[in-house]
Structure 1
Amino acid sequence: MTTKAKSISAVVVIAVLALVGGGLYWFLRDDSPDEVDLDAAAKGVTTTTVADGATTTAGAAADTGIDGAWTVDTTSGEWTYESATGTFVGFRIKEELASIGSTEAVGRTDAVTGTMTIARDQVTDAELTIDLTKITTNESRRDNRVQSALQTDQFPQATFTLTAPIDLGPDAANGAEVTATAKGELTIHGVTEPVEFPLQAKLVDGTVVVVGSLDVTFSDYGVQVPSAPIVLSVEDHGVLELQLLFTKG
C-alpha cells in the first residue's frame, strides 16, 4: 500500500470512529429531564398552551368544592420527552456505561387514564391505568430494550388501585399544598405488590395537581433490567414517578 493510500485509509478510519463516537454520545449522553416537582407542575397548569396555539387557563373554578368524582386530564399541558407540563408516568434508572460513566435512563408516557373520588376531605378511592407500550425515551434503541424488558406484548398495562383513604386536610379545597402517602396495590408485568406511594398535591384553578416518586425493585415484579454491550451495570431498582392532572367529571 502506498503512502498516499495509507493516509487516505487513516482519514477514513478516523472519520468513521468520529461518527460512531458521536452516535454513541447522543445515544448515551445523560440529558435526563428534571424530576417531578409540584411547584413546576402547578405553574404549568395555570397557563396551558393547546394544540392550535391558543392560550387558555386550565380547569374551571372550584366553586363547588373538591368533593366528587375526578378524572385524569391528558388534554391540558404539553407533552415532550424533555418537558412535560401535563399528565405522565415514567421511570428513572441509573446505568454504568463503558468509557462513559454513570448516566440516568428516563422513560415516560402520557397514556394514562384514571379516576379518584373525594368525600369530606378524603380521597376515598382511586384507580390508574398506564399504557406501557407508549413509553418513550430520548433514543428509539433504548425504547426497544425497555419494551422487551417489560414484555409489553404480554403485559401492556400497569395499574394502581388505592386501598386506604387519603386524608387531605380541611385546607385542601382552598389550594393548600397536601403531603400524603397513598397506600395501594401496584401491578407491573402481571405481578401485584402493596406499595406506599409518597405524594404531593395541590388544587390549582380547578385542577388537582399530583406528583410523586416511589423507588421500585424490578425483580419484585419479575422484570429483568435491559442490557447492552456498552452497559457495564444497571441497578435492579429505579424511581417510578408520576405527574397527574385531575379535573372534575
Structure 2
Amino acid sequence: MKKWTWWVVGVVGVLLLGFVVAPFVYTRFIEGDAPERLTVGTASPSAAAGESVSADGAWKVGADSQAGYRVKEVLFGQKVEAVGRTGEISGDLTVAGSSVTEGEFTVQMANVTSDQNRRDDQFRGRIMDVAQFPTSTFRLTAPIELGTVPAVGAQAEAEATGELTLKGQTKAVTFPVTASRTGADTFEVSGQIPVKFTDYGIDNPFFPGIEVEDDGHVEFLLKFTR
C-alpha cells in the first residue's frame, strides 16, 4: 500500500513539474524573446548630416517599412510578448514647411506573421478575419506639427491624430510619433498606437493554454522617399 501511495505521489509530482517547467523551457528557450520595438534609424554615413533641406512635397512609403501588432500573452502561466509584423504596406504623406498636412497608409493583414504558426492561423481567422477585412488603415485627420524642418540626421517628436481602421471599425486615435531625417530624400517615422480590442469588435484572442490581455499596440516604422 505504501509503495502504491508513493508511486501515485511520484507520478503526480512529475506531472505537476512538467506543467510548470515545460512552459518555462518553451517560452525561454524555444520561443525566445520578442523582437525589439520598432524605432527610427539615423542618417547614413553618406548623408550630409546637419544639412537643412526642404521637405516640402509628396512622400511615399518605401522599402523596409514594417507594421504590425504587439500584445502580452500568458502562456501556461508564463508571461510572453507576442509580435506580428509585415512589410506589405503602402501609403503617402504631404509635407509643407514644418507640418505634415496629409497622410495615410494601408497594411495588408494576411501578410502579418509572428514566430508561431498557430498564433498566425488564429490571427488571420477568428481574430481579424482577413478574408473579409484584408486591410487595416490609418488616416491623418489633423496636421502633425514638427516645429522646425528637421535637418539631415536630426530627429523630432510630435503627436499624430487620425483615424485607425481595424476589422472594418474606425476609431479616432492620438499617439506620439518620432521622425528622423535620414537623408535629403529620405526620412522615417515610428510610433505605437494603443488599441483596446473590444473597441474594434475584435474578440479577445484566447485559446486553450494562452490568455491575452484586452489591449495591445499597433506598431509601425515607415520609411519614406520622395
Give how far 1:28 is off.
Answer: 7.0
The answer to whether the 8 A contact 2:140-2:160 is kept is: yes
Match of 1:227 in 2: 206
Q: C-alpha offsets along residues 37-72 of structure 1, whole Å, 9 cap, x if unaligned?
A: 23xx336xx37xxxxxxxxx69xxx88621010000
Within 5 A, what are the aligned runs for 1:44-83? Answer: 46=44, 65-74=54-63
Is 1:207–2:186 an aligned residue pair?
yes
* CA distance, structure 2, for counterparts of residue 211 and residue 234 of structure 1: 25
Identity of aligned residues (%): 39
Contact 1:30/1:104, CA 8 A, preserved across alignment: no
Q: Which residue in 1 is equivalent to 2:74?
A: 96
CA distance in 2, matches of 1:119, 1:239: 29
2:35 and 2:152 map into 1 onto residues whose CA distance is: 31
- Structure 2 CA distance, aligned partners of 1:245 and 1:178? 15
Equivalence for 1:122? 99
Q: CA deviation at 1:97?
A: 1.8
Whole-Å separation in 2 of the counterparts to 1:228 and 1:28: 20
Residue equivalent to 1:78: none
Q: Is the 8 A contact 1:207 1:246 kept in 2?
A: yes
Q: Quote the Cα distance in structure 2 between the aligned partners of 1:184 and 1:102.
A: 32
- Counterpart selection for 1:243 from 212, 221, 226: 221
Contact 2:55 2:149 in 1 (8 A): no
CA distance, structure 2, for counterparts of residue 181 and residue 171 of structure 1? 15
> How does the TM-score come out when normalised to structure 1?
0.74
- CA change 1:92–1:191 in 2 (3 A) is same
Structure 1: how far apart are the matches of 2:166 and 2:39?
24
Aligned to 1:36: 38
Distance 1:145 1:171 in 2: 43
Q: 5+ unaligned residues in a row in structure 1: which ranges?
A: 1-16, 48-56, 75-85
Equivalent residues in 2 for 1:135-214, closer than 5 Å: 135-148=112-125, 149-205=127-183, 206-214=185-193
- The letter of the residue matching 1:198 is P
Question: Hey, what's the Cα distance between the residues in 2 that align with 1:245 and 1:132?
Answer: 19
Residue 29 of structure 1 contacts residue 103 of structure 1 at CA under 8 Å; is this kept in 2? no
Distance, in Å, in 2 between the alignment partners of 1:173 and 1:165 is 20
Summarize deviations over 1:75-102 as a string: whole Å, max 9, x none.
Answer: xxxxxxxxxxx3100111111121x511
Contact 1:160 1:184 in 2 (8 A): yes
RMSD value, Cα = 2.6
What's the TM-score once normalised by structure 2's chain length?
0.81
Moved over 6 A (4+): none
Gaps of 5+ in 2: 1-17
The residue matched to 1:42 in structure 2 has which SS?
A: coil
**Whole-Å separation in 2 of the counterparts to 1:229 and 1:193:** 30
Secondary structure at the residue paired with 1:198? strand
**Alpha-carbon deviation of 1:228?**
2.1
